[in-house]
Amino acid sequence: MDLDDIAAKLGVPVEDVERVHRLAGDGPSAPLPAKADAPEILDRLAVRPDDAAEIMAGWPDPDSPLWTPELRWLLDRSIALVRADLGGYGWLVPGPELPRDRGPAWAHLYVYAYLAMIDVVTAYHREHGIDAAVTWATLADLGRNLAVDRRMNREGWPVMQSWLTLHTRGGLYELGRLQHQRSDSTLDLHIPESGPLSPAAIDASLDEARAFFPRHFPDEHYTEFACGSWLLDPQLQKFLPEDSNIVRFQQRFELEPYVEPEGLDADVEVRRFVFRDLTTPLGELPIRSVLQRAVVEHLTAGGHWYWRRGRFPI
């Protein structure tokens, strides 16, 4: 197919289509699960019934009128792009951001790509001796992210579609309270929306990781845990009690010198995670916690939040 024509029909920059074509090359794609098996798989991935219904409604059946040739090309090559980096652990954009208001095929194209990678990544996990419970706990982040995206009126997906490629490449593992992302010499910590950030839960997750990675990736040697997040902004200590879970989490880390992250606005990221809302005026946001009040008061006063990175020895 002509790449300029594909880009025009998808309504995306031709450079984005050329990137998919270049990175996917002639590499193999992967088939989606059988449609009859999809409801059970979606349930196992913690996908809510309302999201599952949309996904099933847009399923890429061979005769589906929802799936134009350019959409089918993008789905196939996006799967190939992700599969080509199996075992990778860097940030990976699977394809261009699509106009999601054009129906379920457009809204969930990268969900179908995720589903197509399930058998590929579970085989990768088995080859590394990883327990199925860890596999499915990790992959079930799909349902969590779809639910958050729905709460955000579909504003969250452009980030999530790239984030979720870590799961389907074997680059990230959910071990208890934290997600652990492989890197060159550090294990990068991520904090899913899954309950209190209690010190005991953090300790348990870190201990699990200390055993997990030497066992399943013996050729990789990690010396530090690291985290990059607005949660490590020391300004939070002005607003939160000393014994708050966030402050105690911060105290584990030695902060690196501040470097402004390229392409990332910490004020936006705070709103994304604390309120799951990027558009409501500050004065109209609901305040249900000390953290939410701190975020609003600081921004209203003209302050800014900062994305900080810290680390501590394994």
Q: For 104-124, what is the mean pLDDT?
A: 97
pLDDT attached to residue 259: 87
In this prediction, residue 59 has a pLDDT band, given cuts at 50, 70 and 90, of: very high
156 pLDDT higher than 80: no
Whether 242 is covered by a domain: the verdict is no
> How many structural domains compose the chain?
1
Residue 165 forms part of a structural domain: yes
Residue 74: inside a domain: yes
Q: Determine, yes or no, domain membership for 262.
A: no
Question: What is the chain's length?
Answer: 314
Q: CA-CA-CA-CA torsion for 189, 193, 194, 195, nearest 10 degrees?
A: 100
**Residue 136 confidence (pLDDT) above 90:** yes
Q: Band the pLDDT of 92: cuts 50, 70, 90.
A: very high
CA–CA distance, 171 with 117 (Å, rounded to integer): 13
Tell whether the model's pLDDT for residue 263 goes beyond 90.
no
What does each C-alpha distance from 266 to 115, 128, 138, 278 come to in angstroms?
31, 36, 26, 12
| Res 249: pLDDT | 97
Q: Output DSSP code: residue 98.
A: P
| In-domain check, residue 270 | no
Q: What is the mean pLDDT of residues 81-104?
A: 95
Count the neighbouring beta carbons within 10 Å of the beta carbon of residue 216: 17
| pLDDT at residue 277, rounded to an integer | 86
Q: Give CA–CA dist 183/88, Å, rounded.
A: 9
- Name the token pair of 208: 């699990």
Instruction: Retrieve residue 84's tokens.
Output: 């080509």
Do residues 157 and 100 lie in contact, with contact meaning Cβ atoms separated by under 8 Å? yes
Q: What is the rounded CA–CA span in Å between residue 40 and residue 23? A: 32
* pLDDT at 254 (0 to 100): 97
Least confident stretch, 16-20, 90-94, 263-267? 263-267
CA dist., res. 95 & res. 157, Å (int): 12
The token pair at 189 is 């910590």
Residue at 192 is within a domain: no
Q: In this predicted structure, what is the pLDDT of residue 97?
A: 95
Q: For residue 101, what are the domain limits?
A: 1-170
CA distance 122 to 136: 9
Average pLDDT in the chain: 95
Residue 47 backbone class (left: φ over 0; alpha: ψ -120 to 50; beta: rest): beta
Q: Please list the alpha-helical segments (H only) found in the chain.
A: 3-10, 14-24, 38-44, 49-57, 69-84, 104-107, 109-116, 118-127, 132-139, 141-151, 157-163, 165-168, 199-216, 245-250, 266-274, 290-300
Poorest-pLDDT segment among 113-117, 194-198, 211-215: 194-198
The proportion of the chain whose per-residue pLDDT surpasses 90, expressed as a percent, equals: 87
Structure token pair of residue 241: 């009690």
Q: CA 34 to CA 31: how far, in whole Å?
A: 9
Tell me whether residue 23 is in a domain: yes
Residue 225, both tokens = 């845990």
More confident residue, 158 or 7: 7
pLDDT digits (tens, 9 = 90+) for 8-26: 999 999 999 999 999 999 9
DSSP 3-state of 224: strand
Q: Is residue 234 part of a domain?
A: no
